[in-house]
Amino acid sequence: MLERELTTVLSKEAAKPFIEHLGMQTIGDLLWHLPRRHYRRGDLTDFADIEVGEFVTLAARITNVASHTSYPRGKALQRTIVTISDGRRSLDLVFFNLKRFQLAKLVKGESGMFSGTVNRFNSKLQLQHPEWELFDDLDDSQQNAWVSGLVPVYPATKKVSSLSIRKAVRTVLERVDLAEVTDAVPQHVRESHGLMRFGEALGAYHVAESDERLEEAKRALKWHEALQLQASLVVMREFTRRLASTARPAGALLAEFDSRLPFDLTPDQHQIGDQIAADLDRQHPMHRLVQGEVGSGKTMVALRAMLQVAETGGQSIMLAPTEVLASQHFRSIVDSLGPELAAKLNPVLITGQQPAAERKRSALAAASGQSLIAVGTHALISKKTTFADVGLVVIDEQHRFGVGQREALRSKGVEPHTLLLTATPIPRTVAMTVFGDLDVSELRTMPAGRTPIGTHVVSERQSPGLMARAWQRVGEEIAAGRQAFVVCPAIEPGEAERGADLLVDPLPGVGEQGMADVATTLERLRRVDALRGVRMAALTGAMASDEKD
């Protein structure tokens, strides 16, 4: 059932954006694209209480409809303004490229309910692409259900809105019988724990009549997902235990490195180092995840593992998600090794932004085995980048890479040992265990002298006053001689940096929520009074290496 092609229930035209922009091929792909949250349209709003930024539901009559077609960049863009009124006040609804059948319904004199977030354009309040239902299409009970019902909000993209996903899901649910879907949870387990059948829960999570029904569906889906995860884990662990790898026992290189350290390793670094040393000394591949806060010493743990592998002439390759991070790791490794050990191991940096001659020299050193440590970005995965004897693969911020990318890197050697590093809390990486026989270690203690990390959340939309105070605090820290970094998911408006998550959470009735971008944020911060006179600069992956340095 869930394996059926999406085009068997949606037309090719309707399925095309889901296939092209979300990679959905089957019914299951669409139905497993679960809502991020649900909201209620709520009680009807009085026209007198409308404010910018508020989500409103209005009962009103259409008093005017006007459409105008322009041709920006040679493409037709139809802008339709529908004016609605409660008899005393009016408000414009703005639509772009409405379907003909929709435009045919929105005619002067019709009454209905209109729901969306209020914004201001040219000093006038309006709703852009609101949801709407005409009273002629709904009886009294349906009107009440429309206002009070739970509305799913889906992870969306610029090309596929939450509303279009919701409509496609409803079409699929109307045309397939989810009772036929196989349930991985045995019947006696479902009955003993009072769980819905999987198919019923999947449908209810998209279309829930009540909060209670939604919670029941969520609970059943959690059971199903957890059971499948554990079953996959058992199979994968049994498979990896049968693979053969080269044992890499510790020796003089690691002992020499430890003896020269100008500081003491933390208890956690000692303990996890011992675990990794034992893993590397076995004849089946290590698969270990090390989780720890920024500054907890994950790179030091990885470097000690690299030295153990180097003892037998094996190479270690370290993959980082960005060139900036790869360069930081490379410099840290070279500095930590010191001149003598750095000369023995000859670490190299391989990235896509390097000058061709420099990259070629690094690649030759790695291919010939002269370099025992290679640090880099996606360039390490390239088919042109080869190695002599890969014994250890280290992947930093592992959640930033897909399974295919991780496997491509591991294929550079013959069942090499694998060490994954992450600052992301363990709950978000539990699913990574299906990647293989993955043991988890956690660095809890920070190295001596490290300042404790505090995390605070300020909602700009909900607390604009606190946001101003946040920038004031930044100014205070800079005045004390420190630095501040502001991280954005996009470089330019609407253009996410490679690796950024595009599945942003849309606001009700608005569609995709805009992402903060570096260019806009930088200009905005230059106008903040608390930051007057502060030197500011952009740093993005699109910049040249010397600029980033």
Taken in order of first residue, the domains within the chain and their CATH numbers are: 42-148 (2.40.50.140), 252-443 (3.40.50.300), 464-548 (no CATH)
Residue 515 has a pLDDT of 72
Q: Which two tokens stand for residue 28?
A: 């299951």
Lookup result for tokens 């490794």: 333
- Alpha carbon 500 to chain centroid, angstroms: 6
Query: What single-letter DSSP state applies at residue 195?
Result: P
Q: What is the pLDDT of residue 427?
A: 57
Per-residue model confidence (pLDDT) at position 504: 39
**DSSP 3-state assignment of 18?**
helix
d(CA 265, CA 271): 10
Given a contact cutoff of 8 angstroms between Cβ atoms, the answer to whether 95 and 65 are in contact is no
Q: How many residues does the chain have?
A: 549
Q: What is the pLDDT of residue 65?
A: 94
Q: What is the pTM of this model?
A: 0.55
Measured distance CA(69)–CA(89) in Å, rounded: 27
Which structure tokens are listed for 256?
Answer: 């020499």
| Beta strand 495-496 pairing with 490-492 | antiparallel
Looking at residue 303, its pLDDT comes to: 95
Task: Tell me how far CA of residue 247 lies from CA of 103, 219, 285, 308, 392, in angstroms.
Answer: 70, 44, 8, 10, 11
**Alpha-carbon Rg for the chain in angstroms:** 28
Alpha carbons 312 and 109: distance in angstroms, whole number: 83
| Cα–Cα distance measured from residue 394 to residue 380, given in angstroms and rounded to the nearest whole number | 12
Give the rounded distance of the alpha carbon of 275 from its chain centre: 30
Q: Tell me 451's DSSP state.
A: P
Query: Looking at this protein, which amino acid is placed at residue 47?
Result: F
- Reported as half-sphere exposure (CB side, CA atoms, 13 A), residue 81 has a value of 12
**DSSP one-letter code for 497:** P
pLDDT score at 240: 73
Other beta carbons within 10 angstroms of residue 243's beta carbon come to 13
Inter-residue contact 417 to 248 (CB < 8 Å): yes
CA atoms within 13 A on the CB side of 324: 10
| Contacts by residues 460-465 (CB-CB < 8 Å, ≥ 24 positions apart) | 461/53
Q: Shortest CA distance to 67 belongs to which of 102, 110, 112, 115?
A: 102
Distance between CA atoms of 396 and 327, rounded to whole angstroms?
A: 13
Q: Mean pLDDT by 10-residue block, N- to C-terminus, for the chain (549 residues)?
A: 86 89 90 84 73 81 91 84 90 89 89 84 86 71 64 78 83 87 88 91 88 91 85 77 84 91 89 94 88 85 95 92 87 93 93 86 92 90 86 79 61 80 66 59 79 79 79 93 91 59 37 68 90 92 76
CB 538 within 8 A of CB 190: no
Q: What is the pLDDT of residues 287-340, one digit of tens each?
A: 888 988 877 889 999 999 999 999 999 999 999 888 888 888 999 999 999 999
Residues 372 and 316: beta-carbon distance below 8 Å = yes
Contact 504, 513 (CB under 8 A): yes
Given the DSSP bridges, would you call strands 390-396 and 348-350 parallel, antiparallel or unpaired?
unpaired
Are the C-beta atoms of residues 380 and 392 closer than 8 Å to each other? no
Half-sphere exposure of 369 (CA within 13 A, CB side): 9
CA dihedral of 22, 28, 33, 34, whole degrees rounded to 10 = 170
Phi then psi for residue 65, to 5 deg, are -135, 125
Rounded to a whole number, what is the distance in angstroms from the first to the last CA of the chain? 53
Rounded Cα distance between 40 and 505, Å, is: 16
| AA letter at 174 | E
Asked if residue 440 lies in contact with residue 428, where contact means CB atoms within 8 angstroms, the answer is no
